[in-house]
Structure 1
Amino acid sequence: MQLALSPREIEQWPKTASARDLAYGWPARQPASFRVPTLERAVPVCRHLTRLWMDSEGITNESARGAALLVLSELMTNAIVHTGSISITSRLRKTDGWLLVEVQDEGGAASVPHPHDVDCANEHGRGLVLIAQSVQAMGTRLEYGGGRTFWARISLTG
């Protein structure tokens, strides 16, 4: 299922038609995709959508759920802060004991940071380091038009 939310829907969430449509859960056994504007308020909305999707997929492993929410939050925040994107697309897919989380930006003026050694005085890069510690694999791919997709693979079996 693909869901595109406008800036107005993000600001008014959960008092929107999209939220009402999902009140009884996400359609089962389908990958999820949601495109949102680059507003800070979009991050908690996408976390909510991710929880609904994981519920519909029967993902109950708390470690996997926590890792998915961390990955989504950190990658979305990076795209909002470090790119010139107008919108961000997040995708979730469950296959063969794995959960794949992707966040695609549109590129732009600034570039997203890469993980590096973290020291207490430097706040930048910590999110990607946390992601790397929470997943089995992660990476990026460049997209046509200058965007970039960050992805992470999470074990559903612990």
Structure 2
Amino acid sequence: MNEQFMIAPRHGAVAPPPQDASRVGIMRRIAAARLRYCGLEAMTDDVMLVVSELLTNALLHSGTTEIGLKLTVEEGFLRIAVSDGVPSGIAPVPAGEEAESGRGLILVAALAQHGGGAFGISDGGAEAWCTLALARQERS
């Protein structure tokens, strides 16, 4: 699966317009449908979390006008990649105890590593990706 969508340019702490924010939900539904089509519905909850966090991070922090979501199966893993084309200093940063946000990338990295997968940043920060191990019955 390889999907791209356009969004309005954002600057500063201005919230994204509702039509842009709704695209995260649309991409979640497309990803869930693709998982069902490929017989990977057992991974839906984890994939929805990863897709939500990576897309929201790109939407809120990149300043881009186009975001891409790609799901591929590679060597026993599902790879989820979100690209925004904007090199940046993206990295998981621990949030303070009282912070209401800022834990998404840490959560994605922990989820991936817990199941033997990985989390990373590529292209100078223009792409965030995660691999999730396929369940035994899904590897056949």
TM bucket by the smaller chain? 0.7 to 0.9
More helix by share: 2
- Per the alignment, residue 13 of structure 2 pairs with none
- Per the alignment, residue 21 of structure 1 pairs with none
2:22 to 34, 38, 41: 41
Q: CA RMSD in A?
A: 1.9
Runs in 1 of length 4+ with deviation above 4 angstroms? none
Asked if structure 2 preserves the Cα contact closer than 8 Å seen for 1:102 and 1:150, the reply is yes
- Per the alignment, residue 62 of structure 2 pairs with 83
Percent sequence identity over aligned pairs: 28
- Per the alignment, residue 97 of structure 2 pairs with 120
- Per the alignment, residue 102 of structure 1 pairs with 81
Q: Which amino acid is the alignment partner of residue 42 of structure 1?
A: R
Structure 2 counterpart SS, 1:41? helix
TM-score by length of 2: 0.77
Summarize the alignment of residues 21-40 of structure 1 with structure 2, pairs less than 5 Å apart.
Answer: 32-38=1-7, 39-40=20-21
Using the TM superposition, give the Cα deviation of residue 125 of structure 1 relative to its aligned residue in structure 2, in angstroms. Answer: 2.6
Q: Which amino acid is the alignment partner of residue 73 of structure 1?
A: S
Using the TM superposition, give the Cα deviation of residue 95 of structure 1 relative to its aligned residue in structure 2, in angstroms. Answer: 2.8
1:24-76 Cα distance to aligned partner (Å, 9 max, x none): xxxxxxxx010012311100000000011001110032xx3212111111111
1:70-101 Cα distance to aligned partner (Å, 9 max, x none): 11111111111101110101000123321000
**Structure 2: segments with no counterpart, 5+ residues:** 8-19
TM-score by length of 1: 0.69
| Number of residue pairs aligned between Structure 1 and Structure 2 | 120
Using the TM superposition, give the Cα deviation of residue 113 of structure 1 relative to its aligned residue in structure 2, in angstroms. Answer: 4.2
